[in-house]
Structure 1
């Protein structure tokens, strides 16, 4: 059985392993060396965790101290093909392919394929639109370039990195100077110290992804995405969402033609180009290319549902099945569903104890999967989001109906903005508990009024005498049979020792028992014991497509909802 080697197989590149096996080949992962620093070791740990997520068996080999030694190690496997599974794998995969006479791109183009300044230099040489910029090694160099070019807003980025790590948008000279001082003290995405920065004129427009694959210098589009990114107060660029472009709008066809010209200028012969482009009033311009699979850790089945193909399989076609590549070269661009990634932006450094979103995201109509799978943590540290790598996690949404995807995306944005503790919770301290009689005195008038009008369920920590409404404890919810005209939730003591994820599950289980047309009542004494407060309970109501009712003048500090 012939071997196919994937150099650093992480993120969406993990899909290579199953695709290689399905084609009758043996997958081999070539793991790269990392810098012997704390950040380098962190990145190595991240890669190791990614490998554990691959649901297939594969062989593993390791980069040696010298290129020559690595070549000898690779030769033992007599590979049919060597491909990069991640940005950091592009250089070694290309060098090895050239050394062993395998299909691939020329090493002479490596700088233009991997260095953010050199790719723009190449475009300028070929007469294509590029972004004005310069590589600087000091603040003085940056200030001199800024002044000489009469710049205003600029973008700073490491010449070699990924995932928006180290990228800053600076609105003026002072912001640029402060950011440069900070960045020269930072490391890039891979844990290597930043020793040079690219300063570029800022282009304001809409940012896109155009993913292509190539065979013998002919290129075809696999998928087009549109970004929504946000600038933080510190100037960092963080990902909010990324959504598929299912039909081309004004100017987008020209962008595709430009993307082909970029691939030609870089002399791409085989494999992928993950290109990021900006579209403004002057047309398309390259932000940067990455000659490897698109990131985001996208499952192959998620991509198949959207476009009937997934990128790693199409990449292998570009090398191994030229007939299949050419069959698709002139096919109409057609997507079968709408897809979106929602990235969660952590607003501050947090010591997290629970992730309640795990208990509710599956109730979204367009939910496909999520990177967040644990509802409980043992004081795990989450850093304030400043790039893709520090996003709290992400959710994949897909549906044939775009309105369903947009509805869920807007819901997640609303939760992120108004009730972040539903996503990640530090389970802060809560108000002191009251006497049992006080809790009942607040809720009994409501029960006495509404139980005349239907059959109700009272989920409570305090038993009430003299009412006809059926009463249960929170741990009896799953034993309840049937639905009710109204549900009143009076939980307090039972919530104190629960984390936010457990509270969310209890509340959801309770309100699911209401009939269509029925009502739900949640008093302040209950919702104030949620880290996310009133808005957190309201988020649970909205995820079930229930209605938050307008409160009457006579009822205070009470959530009223209906199904």
Structure 2
């Protein structure tokens, strides 16, 4: 039985652990400080460890004797690679580790490799902003933490004053990963279709799991991810995006494991937004992905590590998913506490609806409905007709935008129940 260590198996890492267990492998879970609640709740049949220090963790893993050490979430990326390298197990290039976590170092690594990239500057204080802004030819300018996730702190700024305001709001504050924003990134705004490239790599060979396009809406100066749609075939522009994405992986020393790469196809060609050296998040249930693709990124990674035939079979054939697929990041109309979820049954009745994941419970507080961390749940759609899938996705957005998905208790707590009763029939199918 192969022994697999997964570092911080929260978010989509839970699906990775499940994929290994379904294939008969044993998983041992390492948690870092700050994830004590997840550590306590994890039954971890193969064992678990709450990290106290690198050397102590390394000693414990040497006793365990793992065959691989993998990142189970964004926060586990750096430690997983460091432990794998120290244990002599497959890992990504050690010297490029900072470039795989810090977005400014990422841009610098692309430049050294001759890969086109967005103009990028890093500032550690407000006094550096004048010099940094002089590098940008035009607005808008994107402001974001140097290392975070889920659109946390992301702002699209149309003026110098907005840049200063956004930077002040980030510097010195904790981000979504629980780390202090000591450095904030300024980046050229990239206009054009937004792609996601999910891959699994073994010994430098990159295998494409899925290619998706993303719909973003700008709300309060922040780009909000509404849904992702699978590309079931690739045209020449799509192929150019995929080729560019794989060049980015090489430039960042990615040779092992999963990667979630975001790219914009601009008028000047593909440009990287970021590479995340872990599974797509915030959750990765196998069922809807297998229904459309025959695999999920998590099952593909497990098959790769375990040297199972499905990975080699996928690597040997052209990219051609069998069915259309979409996932909607459900959104509450505003912040507040979920009082009821009247829109869920309406979604369940849609022809291409497949399943929900990570739905909130009644009583859940949603503090920031603009984060793309799945706080309000996700809805999956699978079908043979792409237009039917997109029509159902549009129905979901109509529910969200009308405030009919969730009945929220918050500052505008009026006669919402009556509003649902009057308006829901007009949107139902």
TM-score using structure 2 length:
0.92
Whether contact under 8 Å (2:293, 2:322) holds in the other structure is yes
- Structure 2 CA distance for aligned equivalents of residues 193 and 253 of structure 1: 38
Whether contact under 8 Å (2:136, 2:188) holds in the other structure is no
Whether contact under 8 Å (1:188, 1:194) holds in the other structure is yes
Give the corresponding residue for 1:227: 214
Give the corresponding residue for 1:258: 244
- Structure 2 CA distance for aligned equivalents of residues 148 and 116 of structure 1: 17
- Structure 1 CA distance for aligned equivalents of residues 15 and 284 of structure 2: 8
- Structure 1 CA distance for aligned equivalents of residues 46 and 217 of structure 2: 38
> Deviations along 1:75-105, whole A, 9 cap, x unmatched?
2311111111111111111011111111121
Give the corresponding residue for 1:91: 78
Matched, 1:424 2:407: yes
Q: Deviation at 1:58? A: 4.2
- Structure 1 CA distance for aligned equivalents of residues 367 and 323 of structure 2: 34
Matched, 1:179 2:166: yes
Whether contact under 8 Å (1:225, 1:242) holds in the other structure is yes
Higher relative contact order (CA 8 A, sep 6+): 2
Give the corresponding residue for 1:63: 51
- Structure 2 CA distance for aligned equivalents of residues 255 and 346 of structure 1: 32
> Deviations along 1:419-442, whole A, 9 cap, x unmatched?
x14323339454xxxxxxxxxxxx
Whether contact under 8 Å (2:328, 2:378) holds in the other structure is yes
The 5-angstrom pairing of residues 98-137 of structure 1 reads 98-137=85-124
Give the corresponding residue for 1:441: none
- Structure 2 CA distance for aligned equivalents of residues 218 and 8 of structure 1: 25
Q: What SS does the aligned partner of 1:227 have?
A: strand
TM-score using structure 1 length:
0.71
> Deviations along 1:33-90, whole A, 9 cap, x unmatched?
12xxxxxxxx765x469x66x9x844221111x2111111222311111111111111
- Structure 2 CA distance for aligned equivalents of residues 44 and 160 of structure 1: 22
Residues 352 and 10 of structure 1: is their aligned pair in 2 closer, same or farther, counting only changes over 3 Å? same
Give the corresponding residue for 1:201: 188
Q: Deviation at 1:349? A: 2.1
The CA RMSD over aligned residues, in Å, is 2.3
> Deviations along 1:219-248, whole A, 9 cap, x unmatched?
121100111122222x22321111111122
Residues 390 and 23 of structure 1: is their aligned pair in 2 closer, same or farther, counting only changes over 3 Å? closer
The 5-angstrom pairing of residues 282-361 of structure 1 reads 282-321=268-307, 325-361=311-347
Matched, 1:167 2:157: no
Q: Among 326, 344, 349, which residue is 1:363 paired with?
A: 349
- Structure 2 CA distance for aligned equivalents of residues 257 and 366 of structure 1: 31
- Structure 2 CA distance for aligned equivalents of residues 374 and 384 of structure 1: 14
- Structure 1 CA distance for aligned equivalents of residues 145 and 108 of structure 2: 16
> Deviations along 1:348-389, whole A, 9 cap, x unmatched?
3223311222333221212222136567x24x4222323213
Q: Deviation at 1:185? A: 5.3
Q: Deviation at 1:284? A: 0.6
Q: Deviation at 1:22? A: 3.0
Q: What SS does the aligned partner of 2:144 have?
A: strand
Gaps (5+ residues) in structure 1?
35-42, 431-499, 501-528, 546-563
Give the corresponding residue for 1:413: 397
The 10-residue stretch of structure 1 (69-78 or 364-373) with the greater mean CA deviation from structure 2: 364-373
- Structure 1 CA distance for aligned equivalents of residues 408 and 169 of structure 2: 29
- Count the aligned residue pairs: 427
Q: Deviation at 1:210? A: 0.6
- Structure 2 CA distance for aligned equivalents of residues 33 and 189 of structure 1: 15
> Deviations along 1:184-243, whole A, 9 cap, x unmatched?
25321112221111111111111110111112211121100111122222x223211111
Q: What SS does the aligned partner of 1:422 have?
A: coil
The 10-residue stretch of structure 1 (238-247 or 14-23) with the greater mean CA deviation from structure 2: 14-23
